[in-house]
Structure 1
């Protein structure tokens, strides 16, 4: 159902203890400070900001890898509770992630077949034959031949490894993909291919997508809605074309002024 709200964050705060300060009174770093947003099926939200602005911490909260210090996370309108195992299992299947560097995100000792089978086995999806068929389907979805299943991640190119990572993220038929800097570790020549693939998959599968990057021009290329973060806070948000055509915040204008051009390194 296009437009259905998948995920809502309300007044999210994440505070880390720093290594600085006194032995029993460490300094505290407010990585995310009061962020609220919702993500719906069929839309791409771009989150942009410089390194250290809190966007990757926010991504970890979205996919359940980071517990917020304060605030609430709701999945399909229901607040996630630590003790609600069934809801958290459904959440883990519905919200998936693509990390920045496929070289470290993929197990170098596992074949691509085993990498794609792993989430299906963990969640006991289908029969063995159905899982094997799903691997072939996933490879086709991301533009890889069936023969790619036989090799190790180190035997294919960086762009192909990221395609494998995207295929793994799609294995459980999620409603939402959080892509955290998915092109920054790739050569300039293959960035556009991966961006086009993500945009195509979003349309074909009616996915919600959160695309996180420090490069505002790359975010502009794929986003319907844009969020600009600075020092853990949202400083500007709205329709991507509107924000980029008439940015109201000085920091957004700085990011646009510093951007050398779409997909530049």
Structure 2
């Protein structure tokens, strides 16, 4: 991470040791289309959020639509700049990140989006979609890239014949496996998975979750897993942060949050949301 070593050493001293990503008292405010031209209404999407993504652990962020969880994730991966607060990446402050910072973060943090149909290029074969990040970051020779692509497709449980397919020729679950393979192409330290199963059939969700868990265990990945379904988050997370109205209303070890929730909103989520997962989740 030589691109970020010129920044103040004091910022590194303020961040949590060994954290991959850390948000410290982050706010994100948007101007809404309501209100007048000179006095637009403000939407406080994220209100004073602090979170830490640690190596090898899964942080689950759960809450209803509009609670700020996806905006928080966008701040983590650099797609959204905070209005206020601080963002640290491996000990260095990157709140106002440069192009070099963004490239460095892109090598270490990858994103898996909700809908693989829109996340993948409809006109590119799977092989090219997996090859593209390697070419952009100038990693390896063409032969080494081909070898890496073959390794990736096997890693996510797809046959090598899928490399020649277009996204439209694959099922939803297969497309999401391709999206996960692409996220893994640069061997990241962390993956941000934003509702990665919500666009899939119920019967496929368990397979994708099990794949993510296997990859986390096999590769030592850190992961931020975002969902409105607290039962899904419960299955996959080490730590859970419950968001409501742009704030973290409760955070702690997954078992503690689920067995002894302290906030009324967490109790409401637990009581209102039956598991959307396939009954065979975790088997096999």
Please give the TM-score of this superposition, normalised by the length of structure 1. 0.96
Which of 17, 20, 29 pairs up with 2:34? 20
The answer on 1:235 being equivalent to 2:261 is: no
Give CA deviations for 1:169-209 in whole Å, capped at 9, x if unaligned: 00101001000000000000010000000011011111110
Counterpart secondary structure, 1:36: strand
Deviation at 1:72, TM superposition (A): 1.0
The answer on 1:253 being equivalent to 2:267 is: yes
- In the alignment, the residues of structure 2 paired with residue 31 and residue 239 of structure 1 have an alpha-carbon distance, to the nearest angstrom, of 25
Give the RMSD, CA atoms, in angstroms.
1.4
- Which residue of 2 is the match for residue 44 of structure 1? 58
Structure 1 gaps, min length 5: none
Give CA deviations for 1:59-112 in whole Å, capped at 9, x if unaligned: 111110000101111110000164644433221110110000000000000000
Deviation at 1:5, TM superposition (A): 1.6
- In the alignment, the residues of structure 1 paired with residue 35 and residue 226 of structure 2 have an alpha-carbon distance, to the nearest angstrom, of 31
Which of 102, 124, 135 pairs up with 2:116? 102
Equivalenced residue count is: 263
- Which residue of 2 is the match for residue 145 of structure 1? 159
Counterpart secondary structure, 2:20: strand
The answer on 1:201 being equivalent to 2:203 is: no
- Which residue of 2 is the match for residue 55 of structure 1? 69
Which of 206, 217, 236 pairs up with 1:222? 236
Please give the TM-score of this superposition, normalised by the length of structure 2. 0.90
- Which residue of 1 is the match for residue 14 of structure 2? none
Counterpart secondary structure, 1:92: helix
- In the alignment, the residues of structure 2 paired with residue 262 and residue 27 of structure 1 have an alpha-carbon distance, to the nearest angstrom, of 36
Give CA deviations for 1:197-237 in whole Å, capped at 9, x if unaligned: 00110111111100000000000010000000000000000
- The answer as to whether partners of 2:130 and 2:185 remain within 8 angstroms in 1 is yes
Which of 36, 51, 76 pairs up with 2:90? 76
- Which residue of 1 is the match for residue 7 of structure 2? none
- In the alignment, the residues of structure 2 paired with residue 59 and residue 86 of structure 1 have an alpha-carbon distance, to the nearest angstrom, of 20
Structure 2 gaps, min length 5: 1-16, 279-284
- Which residue of 1 is the match for residue 129 of structure 2? 115
- In the alignment, the residues of structure 2 paired with residue 53 and residue 207 of structure 1 have an alpha-carbon distance, to the nearest angstrom, of 26
Q: CA 1:81/1:30 → structure 2, altered by over 3 Å: closer, same or farther?
A: closer
